[in-house]
Structure 1
Amino acid sequence: MLQGEAQGQNDQQYWLERIHHLPPAPELPLNISPQQIEHPNIQRLSRLLPTQTLVSFKQAADKHGLTAEALLLGCYSEVIRQWSKRQDFTLTLTQMGRRPYEEGIDQTVGNFLQPQLLPVSCVAESTFSERMLEVQTLLYQGKLHASFNGIQVLRELTSRKQENRAISMPVVFSNTLTPELAEWVPDWRGPGSREVYASNQTPQIWLENQITLEQQGLGIHFNYVDGLFPANLAQDMMDAYLDLLNQVISDEALSEQTIWQKTGAVVSIPESDKAERRAANDTFVDIRPRLLHDSLLDAAKNRPDAVAIEQGDKRLTYGELVAKSTHLAAKLRESAHIEAGDIIAVSLPQGPELILGILGILQSGGAYVSIDPALPQQRRLQLLHRCQAKAVVTSTATFTRPDEYQPFLRVDLDILPDDAPLASVPPIQCADDLAYVIFTSGSTGEPKGVMISHNNAVNTLEDINRRFRVTADDAVLSIAPAGFDLSVYDYFGVLGAGGRLVFLAADAQNDPKIWCETLIHHGITIWNSVPAPVKVMVDRASDLLASSKLRLILMSGDWIPVDLPDAIRKALPDVQVISLGGATEGSIWSICYPIAHVEKDWVSIPYGKPLANQRFHVLNEWLEDCPKWGIGELYIAGEGIAQGYWADPEKTAQRFFTHPKTGERLYKTGDLGRYIQNGLIEILGREDNQVKINGYRVELGEVEFALLSLQAVNHVVIDAPVHPKSGQRQLVAYLVLHENVDCDHETLKQRCREQAQSTLPPYMVPTYFVILPYMPLTANGKIDRKALPAPWPEEQTQTAETKPVSATESRLLNLWRELLQHDDLDVNAGFFDVGGDSLIAVALLSTLREEFKVTAVQEQDLIEGLFMNTSIRQFAQIIESMKQLDGVSLG
């Protein structure tokens, strides 16, 4: 503390009072993790602000009550803000700190740079002038309390947050010219001195704006770590900085409103980038408004005898489908008094009857909601009450109890006549009316019903069929449940083109080899699913897959592994592999990327460019366009945007709104993304508390809500960490119990699992349940998710006890190694503990059937074993006991 104990204590107190309110460092776009760069190589960009320009710059600063230093710093912070994911952040300043506290200090040669922190925080409504004055105030206050320097502040912050590694603020502004840029005195360095080279190469610095005095003016330098940032990012930032400095000068000559009165971003996006985005969003295609089922009805008129739906040995022609659905429509109008857009639920297993039910609902004028009959009864009734359904279409074959679904009106397909004539029911709805509602996970325990109009969906379906030339010669194997929006394309996209819709046989096992056999037997040409089933087929049945007629693979709903497209093409060299994306709220899909070639350095498949009559924007917290590589939130605009959430105007207003400046209606996706090269968008993950598990979107709060209904549970946090071995996300429930709960922990975990199974879909049931004495909190009182313990066991050194001790264990160990794709296995470790998940379980059961000749009855024991997180040793015991009962030697 350089100015005496009193001043030092005062400075320390100043910073300690503000330490917990310091924003983090700017979140700039990175090419790789900084931890991957062992020996940073500093690159340098240099530009010159000529003396005459510098004089004009200082005059502009004086006019607005600013020092030139503050204005240079403020402009730098505006550039950083434009590329930062967050608009509030902290910069490190290095100032010349040669203070006259010691005699002869002015004759001393050495490094007198003094680090200081500058928190940059403001609101979108503030003007550029107000933000510059705020920067100057904070700069001045920091200098007044500089004896407690930036390094000391960061040490204290690291200690208080109990971080495992030191906190740093690696984006820097270095001014070696104070006071007031040394008044541009040519000999400030001393008689006979000459600058040869200047750069601050502190290892913690990622990007530094260094201001130096040159004989012809002011030197502007950007020093940055080579390879850390995307290509040309530092150059783009330097160009933006100089452009802003010139704007500050040139606007002084204007009489109208200038940059000083402007709110929001003042840093310009390059015209070349704007042109790329305009081209990407120029998506107009003339698609006439129609009802969702109109194209299907047209196909039935043109080809009534053509097969529409197949399941096993069952066939249903277009004529039969429409004839039966017409009778259902008439029955619904008569019994439920349907008006346009009324909600009618359908609760049927996948198959021809499901499509018949949905088509009948649409022909009646209603909008359909699919209620999966396999869901727990409590969940089914919750959804029915939530959507206020006027009726439920089902069958006695699905539910034998006549009182199922009371008090709702139940209409059974069994009562429809088989000889229904091919007639039409005049439509009562228009293209803007509601077509269907799909329920997605909700944060309060209440699912959100996404309302899609006929025109919303038709815009997507027509574009996909046109884009990929889908015709009556095509067939799709539909594996998506009717409550998952991918099914809408299967049902109305392919059938609308006159093609065939194929379901797996009702008794078919969930097995990739059976999927492939179905592809071959039915001549399937189109596959439409999340990526995981495709990967399972490629891994487990590539030979069969190669014999199929697949020409088009559509993948969406989750991350596509970067090695999957090439693996697909090894089996199917001529297949088109397409990445699709968007949101349920955007009518199935809104963006597309044909995967032709995967670069070796890609960490993800590009999200792509918008579909017809749809648009994408990457916006910051101020709803302004982010520059190339700048991370922002993804917003969808255009014809696909849903009407909103069913009976929830509050949530609708939060997610669907009109942009205050452009007037464009937007949907806020909650996904982070950025523009990369050629107008393409890259998606970077969820912004809010939602995750995707095997392609299904899960709101963690809904799972928490289900578990909190248990009396013993006081607090629940659901997390979805990535398993270190499988690389897949798994749901984990962290529980804090009420005091004096008299229950064994393992018993309680089982109760929690049963509660989740009785109220939630299978993909929302946590894999792990972890009981904690308390929830870890951050300094701000929020749940510290980073401090939650890993649910899987820590690595253990394999001993003699954990090695295979039988031939069965050895065979199982080899199978697990192959499926889990790693060797770090212990025969006593549970299936989920070593990275297993539900999709790997499907592949494992398929392999066990062949390897150990397991019967259907015996398979149930294996399924239960998987569910209980059984180890290899326990699995071996189950299999050996089975074979002993059968009198079979395992050899």
Structure 2
Amino acid sequence: MVFSEENQLDLGLGALFKAQYLRNGAAVAVESDGHALSYADLHSKALYLAHQIQRLCPCDETPVGILIPRGINHILGQVAVLYLGRSCVPLDFKLPDDHLNNMLHDIGTNLVICDQETTHRLPTFTHVLADHTIEAPGPSFEPLLKGPKSCSHILHTSGTTGKPKAIEIFAEGLINLLLDPSSFVKKGDRVGHITSVAFDASLVEIWGSLVNGATIVCIPMETVLDPLELSRQIKSLKLNVMQITTSLLNITAYASPSAFSSLETLITGGEAINVQTIRTIFEGGPPRRIINGYGPTECSVYTLWHPVSREEAQRGEIPVGKPFCNVQTCLVDENLIPVKAGVIGELLIAGAGVAGGYIGEPEKTAKSFVSLPHLPLHSNRGPGHIYRTGDLMRMDEDGVYYYIGRKDSQIKIRGQRVEIEALESNLVQLKAVSAAAVIKITPKGAGRNPFLVAFCVPISPCITAAAITKEYVERYTHHIVPRIEVVASLPLKTNGKTDRKELEHRYLAKITDSCMTSRYAGKDIGNVEAKLKALCVDILSLPTEDIDPTDDFMAMGTNSLMVAILLARINRTFGVSLGASKIYENPTLRSLTNLLETTQGHSTELTNEAEQELWLQDTQLGQHLRPLPGTVVDWEDVSEGRVFLTGATGFVGAFFLAELLRMPTVKKVACLIRAKDQAAGRLRLENVLRKYQIYSDLDKVVVLPGSFSEANLGLNRKDYDYYAEWASVVFHLGAKVSYVAPYSSHRMDNVVGTCNILEFASHKRPKATHYTSTIAVYGPTGLVTGTKFVHEDERPASHLAALHYDMGYAQSQWVAEAIAWNAIDNGLPVAIYRPGFVLGHSQTGVCNPDDFVGRVFASCMAMGRYPLLPNQRKEFVPVDYIVHALLHISKSKDNLGHAYNLVHPDKTHAIDLCTSFNLLKTICPYPMHGVTYTEWVQSLSLSPEDPLYPLVPMLKERVLGERTRWEVYENMVEYGRENLHKAIKDAPDILACGPMDQLFSRYLRSWLPTSCAN
């Protein structure tokens, strides 16, 4: 047979290797442990081994297991199997025999190639011995060289989520990758073979070398796991190509930053790339090129690739690149419709490389390998063979892909959705962290609730968990805070990826020991701090040594649910009646101890007068602000159209942004987002939009990493001045919302933040500020003051007496709105908007799962009971109504200087709580009945899984006689609509907001318990 460059893609792997033997027989094919085989030697010994296999098992189609670790004998086995035209089944020799037996039985083989070390394994199987030291007799066997359409390998998934799946890999996919013009390996290269043979990436090291005339250099595992020794071996063995998983790369780079400096090509993949690690490599001495590779095993190792630049590493966002030749990719939304550039979607793959499916599992194959004739994708395996990766990505205008995370990596912690991979990405952006893995920990025992632990490898042994936590909290202010556990290194699985099960096991063992020790030590101790520490160890699941008297519980990952449990236990143990706010105001062991020691048996609440004095002092903030000369511009004018927006990552803000981006008069939207940099801010925004099923082109968006609670909005002075001059209008929708935290916790964001925004709007040139408040600023004034009706321009200041019985959030907005009214009085162009209780989108039905109303309805349906609350009304409105009304009002300068209650425009469509629950009862598939408020709250407290459980302290706390914070909203006032009607009278579509009772059924799916909704 004559081999030429033109016909290579028509050959199978066996034929391509034979071609290299004929061309370069004397060249070294593989080296290991001081031994070496030339291409000619490997060819002859493989022929001999193939003959032995054929003699023992003449069946042409039987796959052949290879139970040999990384080394010459394993490679010899793979070549021999392909010389027979059969399928290689590389096996992890560390797996137990019963596990291996099941894997091989499921694919229909009882034949394995072993070496001297593994001949005793799988005794019921037929064994063939591979020994490269045996001299092979002359050729007496002609290889059966199958073409590229043959199944060359059967690889198994890790099985971490169940039974391993056997994936049918075809030669053409590997050949397409290994002979690509941008191939990682070329003739004469010395390629480090460090990957487990059971892992798909090992095929690049083995067959990428053998079909291109390179040398495979096998490196033992003990060297691979020793960063300094690996660094030495890379240089002494004169390697110029190496492939390494992200986890191993992190370990090696931080121990030896120049380890890879002598390489021609370094390929990394398997997990999301660690930007900090890549920066370290560039600083320590990089190889000539670093390749970020991406691809599932089901698509023949790599699908996308990207040469990483120093600039990308410094910028903090590294893409996974573009597809290889003959590979087709597409991003789709949840309805499998292609998305535009810049929008996050699930990656689909077709073309060369897509596997045949999962052997013996037609249902799983049909779920992952799909037929989508409406997409412009064509498979080499025939029509309808497109692989759904489950990976979320976005693509830029140049066709470059950016990895976002797994669809199934999103978990819920007490109702809050968390993207594990995004959290890990945030952690490795910290200066103190070189690598991180985040695990959801579920402690054993009733009433113990899951939480997140971040296992962090610090850049220096002297860095503590407290230091990492401090940096994390400062940088990611509003993100969920995981527990930080400092570890010397992350344990690895055989395939080089992080062993998350091992981390979980270690931590569970550690906290179990701590809880036992703490309970024993706390018995019969009168010391308040010791008792309190014992409670913290038990409830917060913190190892004893991690609790310092001055550590902030909130900064250690304590969430509102844990506060609720801790509060109940403290009140019971110490005989006090603390409110939830006291935990937030005294968040350390020492401060809480001092509080308990001085207040046992006494009232701990601040007097109303003291609280009131604090609020009134803060209302004087911003009194210095004065309007600039000139008039406010029409922000939709052809020369304007530049919007400055806060709160884009909130529920209302996300839909508001989407509507702005649809407006042709809007040229750019600058979104102020709490984030380390633009890349992190953009990722946060994309995740929020995806959460609410908003698919918008973000080309008009400018992400500004900053915070309205900081001076100059957290921007440098140059940017602050530039955007103050640039902006045509300011929409301030951002706020902190907590149902249990006190005024002091909201003050910086909601009070100081509003003042900062007004100052920004009054800088450089006049521009209108559209500030979003809440109807809650009036508090329970109907019950407390007897007020029946409030006009829109009526200042909340006159309802101060009611404020004492509301939450810290409402109190902070009362103060913030007072500051906004002061600005209006001083002549600043400001409009105030007070949304009612915002429900989901009236068309899509998408709701905010984290808001109070959503939690209440979901909880009530799960329990089958709801509270009977007479004379109470919630001003329910759809989120799209809020967005359209706000936008319409903001377009006219005549509407400035007023407030607008964004409640239902037709007051006859407002429904009270009893009607709301009756509607819910009608459409809910579960039986429901009403109970007294007290009965209902007690039911909540018995169910730690309840979405309302974190809010139990607020729901139970009696603030006015026997009434709780919710019960004081009896006899609610009617909110005026005069300004609203006047401003939207020319917008009949907004005035035609549908009755809320008709929308409830649309929202039902969002409120239903997951088991029923699915």
- Shorter chain as normaliser: what TM range? 0.3 to 0.5
* TM-score (normalizing by structure 2): 0.42
